[in-house]
């Protein structure tokens, strides 16, 4: 496994294909320091004796110890550890840890490439391609990101109906040695500080949309790939230093007629599996959210509790009710994810069929519970911000800047008037309110909230999955039986959802 320093050195060697604010920049540009620092923690804690059990795993390919972010989940325990690792890491850095997209993508592609080969009856080598690439990925302890979200153009039109076919990434040339793709993937978090970009479809596809059913992996600096960056960093401080400077960066990843070698292609034209690939990545990513969102919830509980303490209202009943609400959201999200892990199997839900065996035997989290947890916590994002606003009052919105707090002409006066709780040092109160403003009243805080709402799929997408996959007929039959009505017979091809009533 690599060290953080080796990861940083590797980024310096990548070709220049990053664009920011009118300039072409290198990966050692200061604007990427905070995002790189976040990823660096995943290397540090994989080597830490206290945390390495959570952060490492044994490769199912060769038994070697690898970073868990490079691992294919083999068991329920793997899913539990991924969730707990994510929560622990996010608690250390405060927000997104940056490598979940990569591990979620490899787990989706692992199953889809295997099944696509079965359909093609030996005509393709997708799964072998993937395993060879995965061995390289694990051996070099690489950082992966997932490029799924397409531009989508006119949202009411399907990919094949778009006036501009490039609104969804698609294959424009199929050659013996590989494929050429064109399009753009957007809102791709941490792509500019990743080693590899894994590309998967963004939606279900039809027979006339085969060119959009494509999955592959390419280096982040591959020829023809251009990344346009949107960094979201915390304000730099000189005196009131934070314990950790968290930041993240998104990319518009543009594929300008990019050649992908055949050995890096994991899906190409199998439209039936394109939609499954999209759903599987979303499923794994929503499961990861049941680790990261509870960790963010832990921080929000801390924010609310400390703000109440600073303001001297921590014993007020209505304040305790609001903090209890944050606790409920946090732990319900974790509990749903834990249950999704516990019920994990090598199965996926097929519309009109039910749960069916899928893939080479790797463990897939239960879809209902992964979606329920993600939906509950995603819908709560702005409600949580409202609670923080109500408890803090207006202080974070107008808190003085660090330069004014250090200005000798007004420093003593400001310290007098920003101090509320006489039992807490004014320096600690200043550090607290500056951090509170970072996460509630900054440009970064707006991007954080949007990401927390939409990352891994907006709540409406989870609602669709929940409603479409839940065995509602079984619930109807409970009522029909108690009412003395005859049960509704299930169609022969349907399989009862894996749930006990």
Q: What is the DSSP string of 52-89?
A: HHHHEEE-TTT--EEEGGGPPP-SHHHHHHHHHHHHHH
* Token pair of 175 as six digits: 């050659």
**CA 246 to mean position of chain CA atoms:** 16
Mean pLDDT score, 218-237: 96
Residue 316 half-sphere exposure toward CB, CA atoms < 13 A: 16
Q: Is the pLDDT of residue 337 over 90?
A: yes
Q: What local confidence, expressed as pLDDT, does residue 491 receive? A: 60
Write out pLDDT tens, residues 384-427. 999 999 999 999 999 999 999 999 999 999 999 999 999 999 99
Given a cut of 70, is residue 5 above it in pLDDT? yes
183 conformational bin, left if phi > 0, alpha if psi -120 to 50, beta if neither: left
For residue 447, the model assigns a pLDDT of 87
Query: Stretch 255-272: mean pLDDT, rounded?
Result: 97
The DSSP-derived string for 392-451 is: HTTHHHHPPPHHHHH-TTTHHHHHHHH---TTS-HHHHHHHHHHHHHHHSSHHHHHHHHH
Check residue 160 and report its DSSP letter. G
Within 13 Å and on the Cβ side, how many CA atoms surround 399? 22
pLDDT at 52 over 90: yes
Label residue 203 by pLDDT band (50, 70, 90): very high
Secondary structure (3-state) at 157: coil
pLDDT of 497 strictly over 60: no
Which of 420-429, 436-445, 447-456 has the least mean pLDDT?
Answer: 447-456
434: phi then psi, degrees, rounded to nearest 5? -65, -40
pLDDT digits (tens, 9 = 90+) for 451-485: 888 887 888 889 988 998 998 999 999 999 999 99
- At 98 the pLDDT is 95
Q: Would you state the pLDDT for residue 498? A: 33
* Block residue for tokens 């049941």: 290
Q: Strand 225-233 to strand 18-20: parallel, antiparallel, or no bridges (unpaired)?
A: parallel
> How confident is the prediction for the chain on average, in pLDDT?
94
Mean pLDDT of 328-353: 94
């Amino acid at each position: 496994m690599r060290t953080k320093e080796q990861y940083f050195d590797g980024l310096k060697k990548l070709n220049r294909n990053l664009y920011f604010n009118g300039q072409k920049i290198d990966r050692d540009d200061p604007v990427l320091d905070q995002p790189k620092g976040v990823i660096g923690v995943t290397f540090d804690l994989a080597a830490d004796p206290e945390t390495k059990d959570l952060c490492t795993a044994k490769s199912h390919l060769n038994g070697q110890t690898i970073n868990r972010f490079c691992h294919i989940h083999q068991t329920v325990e793997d899913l539990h550890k991924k969730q707990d690792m994510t929560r622990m890491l996010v608690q250390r850095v405060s927000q997104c840890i940056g490598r979940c997209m990569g591990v979620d993508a490899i787990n989706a592609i692992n199953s889809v490439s295997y099944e696509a080969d079965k359909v093609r009856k030996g005509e393709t080598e997708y799964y072998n391609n993937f395993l060879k690439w995965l061995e390289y990925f694990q051996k070099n302890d690489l950082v992966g990101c997932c490029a799924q979200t397409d531009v989508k153009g006119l949202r009411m039109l399907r990919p094949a109906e778009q006036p501009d076919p490039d609104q969804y990434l698609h294959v424009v040339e199929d050659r013996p040695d590989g494929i050429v793709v064109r399009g753009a993937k957007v809102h791709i978090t941490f792509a500019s500080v990743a080693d590899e970009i894994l590309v998967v479809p963004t939606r279900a596809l039809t027979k006339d949309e085969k060119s959009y059913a494509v999955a592959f992996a390419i280096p982040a600096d591959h020829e023809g790939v251009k990344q346009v960056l949107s960094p979201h960093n915390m304000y730099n401080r000189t005196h009131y230093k934070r314990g950790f400077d968290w930041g993240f960066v998104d990319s518009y990843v543009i594929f300008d007629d990019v050649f992908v070698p055949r050995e890096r292609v994991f899906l190409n034209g199998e439209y039936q599996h394109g939609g499954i690939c999209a759903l599987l990545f979303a499923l794994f990513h929503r499961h990861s959210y049941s680790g990261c969102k509870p960790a963010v919830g832990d921080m929000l509980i801390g924010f609310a509790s400390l703000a109440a303490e600073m303001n001297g209202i921590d014993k007020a009943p209505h304040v305790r009710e609001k903090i209890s609400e944050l606790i409920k959201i946090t732990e319900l999200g974790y509990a749903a994810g834990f249950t999704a892990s516990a019920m994990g199997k090598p199965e996926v839900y097929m519309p009109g069929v039910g749960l069916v065996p899928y893939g080479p035997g790797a463990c897939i989290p239960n879809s209902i519970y992964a979606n329920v947890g993600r939906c509950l916590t995603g819908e709560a994002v702005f409600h949580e911000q409202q609670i923080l606003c109500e408890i803090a009052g207006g202080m974070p919105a107008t808190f003085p800047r660090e330069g004014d707090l250090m200005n000798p002409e007004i420093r003593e006066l400001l310290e007098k008037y920003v101090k509320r709780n006489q039992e807490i040092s004014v320096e600690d109160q200043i550090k607290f309110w500056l951090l509170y403003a970072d996460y509630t009243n900054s440009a970064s805080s707006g991007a954080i909230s949007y990401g927390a709402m939409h990352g891994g799929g907006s709540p409406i997408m989870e609602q669709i999955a929940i409603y479409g996959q839940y065995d509602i007929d079984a619930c109807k039959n409970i009522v029909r039986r108690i009412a003395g009505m005859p049960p509704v017979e299930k169609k022969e091809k349907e399989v009862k959802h894996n749930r006990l009533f």
